[in-house]
Chain A
Amino acid sequence: MSELTINQRRPFSFKKLAILLFLVLYLVLTLALAHTSNYDQGLFLVGVVFAILALSLDLVAGTLGLYSLGHAGLFAISAYTTTILNVNYHWNLALILPFVICVNGVLGLIIGALSLRVSGLYFAITTYIFTLLVTVLIQNLAITGSYQGIPGPPFPNFPSSLSSMGTALVWACSFALLVTIAIIWSIRRSAAYPVLLSVRDAEPFAASAGVRTSRTRVLVFTLSASIAALAGWAFCFLGFLGPSDFSGTISINILVMVILGGMNTLVGPIIGAAFISLFPVVVAWNPLWQEVLFGAIFVFVIVVIPEGIVGVFNRAVRNIRAHFSKKPPGLVEPTATVATTAAPSIEKLDEVFTSEFALEARHIDFSYVPGVPVLVNVDLVVRRGSIHGLIGPNGSGKSTLVNLLSGQLSPNAGSIILNGHEVGHLPAAERPKYGLMRTFQSAAMVRSITTKDNVSIGLYSKYRWILSRSLIWPFLPSGHRDGYSIDAGARAALARVGMGPGWARAKVADIPHGVEQLTQLAAAYVGTPSVLILDEPLAGLSAGEVETIAGILRDLSSSGVTIIVVEHQTRFIFSVCDEITVIAAGELVKAGAASDVRADSRVREVYLGQ
């Protein structure tokens, strides 16, 4: 892998040129706008402020699925704080900016923590109440000018030597938007982006790859709130601040901008903000009919193009591309699932483990509902380097036991020792550090991104500071380096399970079930686990695919990985596993060498039906 991690410097890069062109164009546009009339500038600045807000909201709504209606409240707090500190207390505007960013960050931390307890609709309602609360405060406090509002502070102009630059406020707002765009762009290009989507769509998968999902949600919400502070700071220079500028309707408007433009895109929120800010100006009729038309447009978008303006554009591009290529999208080179070329060999495990057992779960008790035990005094002891089968009738508690081992659940009693460490009390995200990775029965991954990006999530615990570095990822040499190395690692893992480069580019939503199972295996294997748990890896696979997986497991096992496999296909289990544990109705029936287990009369009775 190491030779692939070297960042190849090319003398000319199309991407760099594009970024440079964008920057030049952006500056020229800003310069032009800084010389237009006050009216035009006012329109533009409102658009910019809402573009920042929409981008900050999309960061949590689109990427993490947290539909916050608290952004108008956060927006209000930073706008009023800036005004009051400047007008009443004469703080310097440049000093106020970091201050309001911190204030909003702390509020974001608190509101973000709510997302751990409530999600979906309840999160939206709770955050909406936050906005209402802020509005009520603004309306009733003397310092915020109650219903009348307060005038915003003036923004200092350029010194006369720089007067050719035009209005300074335009430059300030434009710069704030540029910073926001840069942050969002960085995150979307970083290794953290698939991770964020996995927190949204596939939480157990994310957690078992070592992602601390709760913390991630709170941190991203904090970031989003801080970006919203930027918008509030800029907004107060535009004139009067009144309660109606920050009402709950504004929160909904921001969400509408995101949806209209296209959720989970970079350009969508900006287009949405521009559209909605300009709409009342362009369609300057009777206010009633204006509202009706606006409502009609929004309903049309929701019903006909729920993916928003950018989504429609992307779909058109995809269709045009698909028109020129005969094959279905994603299924480039759908040759054989099994690549015959030699795959890179597994790296030797860093640590040398001395204990004979890789995993020892002893005297495990568990119940979902008190009084209804699901597992009673179950032992699962797995010899290092072996393939260990876990079998039992449906409903016997196998998946529950696996979830206890991987930390999705915690046992009521008993101990789980993983590579010599007691891990029974640790959350799922901590266990990859002790060498454990796992797969899930089905539909565990992020369907909207490629198999390669899904596999790269499995590398999360191998790289440090992925989340914090994502803010400036493309600008960091280490970001480039790790980006290449994660990419190469994910491709190598896919090759290792027999998936050619064509599959790496296919979205999980487009691939057949068997390939999805292989992708999951790659995503678990890529984290170089010492213990790998597979939960029904063969469900729905054909005989040929079963052989492929059996071969992979034997290879992994011979390179020192301990494998625990839950499966029903007895022919596979008895031919692949060294040792087998059988549970039925939550109790241990038999554990031992595969041949002993197969011959056991109770196993034949409760499981094999012979």
Chain B
Amino acid sequence: MGKDIREDIAWAQINKDVLKSLENPKKLYWVILLIAIAMVGVAVGCEIYQYQTGMGVSNKSNSHVWSLYIATFIFWIGMSHSGTLLSAILHLMHADWC
């Protein structure tokens, strides 16, 4: 509580962190990217399998007509809407970083 925030943050460090994304990525980045691409591949495979076999493989039934699909749809819609709302408010209020 004692010190002012401007004395706490090393401005050079912030600069460095922000500019890091412009440099060549580390090895860990490629590993994570590969895993992500593999997951997308599995998802695409599952989708194709589902279209070929029928919607029944997603374990939906006559009483659960949309189940996880509608839940994830609402989740991502909610995420994007809340993101839009937050940044819109910050923009309208002319909020600064410090």
Is B one of A's binding partners? no
